[in-house]
Amino acid sequence: MEKILVIGCAGQIGSELTIELRKLYGDSNVVATDIKPADKEITEGGPFEILDVLDTHRLFGTVSRNKITQIYHLAAILSGNAEKKPIASWHINMESLLNVLELSRELNLNKVFWPSSIAVFGPTTPRVNTPQFTVMEPSTVYGISKLAGERWLEYYYQKYGVDIRSLRYPGLISHKTEAGGGTTDYAVEIFYEAIREKKYECFLSEQTYLPMQFMDDAIKATIAVMEAPAEKISVRSSYNVAGISFSPEEIVAEIKKRIPEFEITYNPDFRQAIAESWPQSIDDSVAREDWGLNNTYDLKKMVDVMLSEVAKKFD
Ligand code: NAD
Ligand code: SER
């Protein structure tokens, strides 16, 4: 029986992935951790510990005491927040990964999941249908940390045989937990403001195309790549994952069909330059061929679910 450690369980992905992993492996077999308290559903639904992933001693203790066999390491500082504190963010993003990799090597864990991002690409990358293997010159501290992280994953796999799997998530859209300081966060915030205020000031300009994915598809893809037989995993850095590509203008048009009085204004800030350095759409054919990546949400379906779920929070 696998025993799983989730690091960063209180975040946008962790708050949903932990629940799905518990359904799959049993509540008591998924130990959820974060540096901050999590929702009751997580803290009362199975084992939960406060853990700073940078505290190597405690991390080893938690893994040994719970006889952990797999780690999902989700703790990181995302693109927008990382630009405000570049050195501190580099430290958290890289040291935490190296802690997890070293521990996995020493304790011979079965598998590790660590997410990368579309932020590994940069202004010199082809922006449309970005291939799996291409030019990668990221211009953000977050992107540099994700690209360096991908190189470390491949190094630990080649040199020590640590079975680490990874997805380059696009911007993730969800309603359970608010987004954690990224450049794609507008596509989550817009639903809260559409329901609450019927207006939103967008920090990206109207025609800024970015690849996004609905959280249900992201969780499904994460579990699929982790469950795939090792011989199906041909990419040991990180897999491209495409979802739905759209611009603020297009998501606004969909919201207006459902809330005609919704008003949008545009006031691009420093995140505009980040967005313009990232792909507009992604070629994820390698993930589809290797282990059957299959997204099910399009823009319309995602907007329907987001509006109805966010509205329930304010009933
Ligand atoms: P988030 O910011 O919502 O959650 C991260 C969690 O990590 C938070 O709960 C935070 O408290 C925790 N954390 C921070 N420092 C910690 C530490 N020192 N020790 C323990 N926990 C700590 O982020 P998320 O959106 O859930 O992203 C999770 C991972 O997925 C990150 O690696 C991120 O780069 C990657 N990713 C996310 C997206 C997205 O759109 N959400 C896209 C691409 C990649
Ligand atoms: N959603 C993430 C961000 O904007 C992409 O990695 O930082």
Output the CA 71–ligand 2 centroid distance in Å. 21
CA 13 → CA 7, 60, 169, 177, 227, distances in Å? 11, 23, 11, 8, 18
167 lines ligand 1 (CB under 6 A): no
Which protein residue has the closest C-alpha to ligand 1 atom 35? 115
Ligand nearest to the CA of 277: 2
pLDDT of residue 272: 98
Q: What is the pLDDT of residues 253-266, one digit of tens each?
A: 999 999 999 999 99
Does residue 183's CB lie within 6 angstroms of at least one atom of ligand 2?
yes
User: Residues 206-239: pLDDT tens digits?
Assistant: 999 999 999 999 999 999 999 999 999 999 999 9
Is pLDDT above 90 for 30? yes
| Beta bridge mates, 245 | 211
Encoded tokens for 282: 């992604």
Among residues of the chain, what percentage have pLDDT more than 90? 99
Question: Which of 183, 204, 212, 238 most suits a substitution to test ligand 2, by most atoms within 8 Å of the C-beta?
Answer: 183
| Ligand 2 center–CA 267 separation, angstroms | 19
The whole-number pLDDT of residue 250 equals 98
Ligand 1 contact via 54 beta carbon (within 6 Å) = yes
Judge if the beta carbon of residue 138 lies within 6 A of ligand 2: no
| Domains of the chain listed by start with CATH number | 4-171+214-240 (3.40.50.720), 175-212+243-282+296-312 (3.90.25.10)
Atom of ligand 2 nearest to the CA of 170: 5
Whole-number pLDDT of residue 151: 98
Dihedral angle at the C-alpha atoms of 203, 167, 99, 61, nearest 10 degrees?
A: 110
Rounded to 5°, the CA angle 132-218-242 comes to 35
The pLDDT of residue 315 is: 86
Ligand 1 pocket member 143 (CB < 6 A): no
- Predicted confidence band of residue 138 (pLDDT cuts 50, 70, 90): very high
Model confidence at 251: pLDDT above 90: yes
* pLDDT tens sequence across 12-21: 999 999 999 9
User: What SS3 state is found at 195?
Assistant: helix
Report the pLDDT value the prediction gives residue 234, as an integer from 0 to 100: 98
pLDDT in tens, 54-97: 999 999 999 999 999 999 999 999 999 999 999 999 999 999 99
Q: Would you please indicate which residues are annotated as catalytic (active-site) residues?
A: 142
The rounded percent of the chain whose pLDDT value lies above 70 is 100
- Indicate which residue's Cα is closest to atom 14 of ligand 1: 75
| Residue 131 pLDDT greater than 90, yes or no | yes
Average pLDDT over residues 171-191: 96
